[in-house]
Structure 1
């Protein structure tokens, strides 16, 4: 399947706003730029959602900032591709640079591939936040085991060991049920706001496409009216009056119609040329 997605496939015409909406809705994230997915963690979790249990999520670092950490995420992704026999070359050296076009192209391919597997249907049984948290717990558990094996002199002055910070993706656990309910409510509000932002961005993207479409049409009309054969024709002059009208508060249509009426009326009133008198030919 992966090898059949060519460079002219419709997948590569999907806009960035649609890609961001696809990521945020399925993984409960709030990405606003394509380059925020350059670490490879998003791609790993998309494969985890499409093929549950195939991706070792405890190896995926969602806090990766350095190129080294990002490369480790792409190594996990490449291992998953190899396991699933997906023939897709990952341009790791280009993706980790965070360049929008490179990352957009890879995410366009990713969306096309995942949709071809699940038909574009979201896996309702998949909990993306829980999967990220589970990976964080696995990492923290290994770190705790390592901390227990350290010598006593590694403890601080208060006599307690070094405290490990909780996984940033999961956030601190709530010890009270009311706190848990509050956190769930806050998460729901964040998700609702995130969806609103995504919808607004999608609307803006559609409006921009519509604007560009009609602008290109007007530009074609302008070029046609500027051709040498037509630029002085009454209809071309009338059209250019509309195109070049400076005051947007008033429609120039009436002015253009008046110009056409006057021009046509003048043509009708113009007297026909008298025929030239015939000259007598000498016999």
Structure 2
């Protein structure tokens, strides 16, 4: 496996495959509807392609098909990198470039991925592989093992639409209609329970994102405190931005770092 991946050089015919062919390959194989290469920047598509090529190797419950923040995208690429390591695939994944959504960077990686998958299965799609079922199964396991939002981008919506809840009003059908039977009541309870769960997951998601960026800022602060950088003008400007009370103050101090000295 490692040999196949390593032999895909920059002048390989794989890198002359056009974006339309790549999109057609992705959509036909995974039953998706991507229209742009950068829509695959989250890493979820790449993970499922490896799941199709090597059944049972990819932990699909860890793959977030609704990843929109850099934090969630990085988690998907971590899964992909772990799979490559397990399969002894020597491929460097430039995550920082891919998550920016740059078309060329993502196209090149998908060209490599197509060449790799074709070399493993001869270009023949596994007829026993059900991509939608695998995404649904991964989503169910994901919801039971950890707090994540359902996918609304790459996969077909699984959770039914939920009507909004008006604050302070009792829950019931609109326009004062009485439910015709127990099934309607049970359906509403399920819908409301699902909405409450989504709200809880959303809060958890925001907290994780907050912690992610706080850690980055803390690392920058530590770097600015190092002796070799402490007295540099650019370090002073960075500290002014970090410690400013608001955005306006931050902008002014960054332009004139000596203003407060």
Residue 42 of structure 1, CA deviation: 0.2
CA RMSD of aligned residues (A): 2.0
Moved over 4 A (4+): 164-167
Structure 2 counterparts to residues 153-192 of structure 1, below 5 A: 167-168=151-152, 169=155, 170-172=157-159
Query: Aligned residue for 2:65?
Result: 62
For structure 2, the residue ranges without an aligned partner over 5 or more in a row are 161-182, 184-261
TM-score (norm: length of structure 2): 0.57
Query: Aligned residue for 1:52?
Result: 55
Deviations 1:96-152 (A, max 9, x none): 0000000000000000000000000011000000100111101222358xxxxxxxx
Distance (Å, rounded) in 2 between the aligned partners of 1:166 and 1:4: 38
Distance (Å, rounded) in 1 between the aligned partners of 2:48 and 2:93: 16
Query: Aligned residue for 1:127?
Result: 130
Match of 2:82 among 71, 79, 92: 79
Residue 53 of structure 1, CA deviation: 0.3
Residue 172 of structure 1, CA deviation: 3.0
Deviations 1:64-87 (A, max 9, x none): 000110000000000000000000
Secondary structure, counterpart of 2:88 in structure 1? coil
Instruction: Determine if contact 2:64/2:151 at 8 Å carries over to the other structure.
Output: no
Instruction: Determine if contact 1:39/1:65 at 8 Å carries over to the other structure.
Output: yes
TM-score (norm: length of structure 1): 0.53
Asked if 1:23 is matched to 2:26, the reply is: yes
Asked if 1:118 is matched to 2:115, the reply is: no
Deviations 1:163-188 (A, max 9, x none): x9755434137x9xxxxxxxxxxxxx
Distance (Å, rounded) in 2 between the aligned partners of 1:142 and 1:80: 20
Distance (Å, rounded) in 1 between the aligned partners of 2:150 and 2:15: 38
Distance (Å, rounded) in 2 between the aligned partners of 1:20 and 1:48: 18
Instruction: Determine if contact 2:66/2:149 at 8 Å carries over to the other structure.
Output: no
Query: Aligned residue for 1:35?
Result: 38
Instruction: Determine if contact 1:47/1:55 at 8 Å carries over to the other structure.
Output: yes
Instruction: Determine if contact 1:50/1:114 at 8 Å carries over to the other structure.
Output: yes
Query: Aligned residue for 2:233?
Result: none
Deviations 1:234-260 (A, max 9, x none): xxxxxxxxxxxxxxxxxxxxxxxxxxx
Query: Aligned residue for 1:90?
Result: 93
Asked if 1:5 is matched to 2:8, the reply is: yes
Instruction: Determine if contact 1:40/1:73 at 8 Å carries over to the other structure.
Output: yes
Return closer, same or farther for 1:15/1:139 CA change in 2, 3 Å cut-off: same
Count of aligned pairs between the two proteins: 156
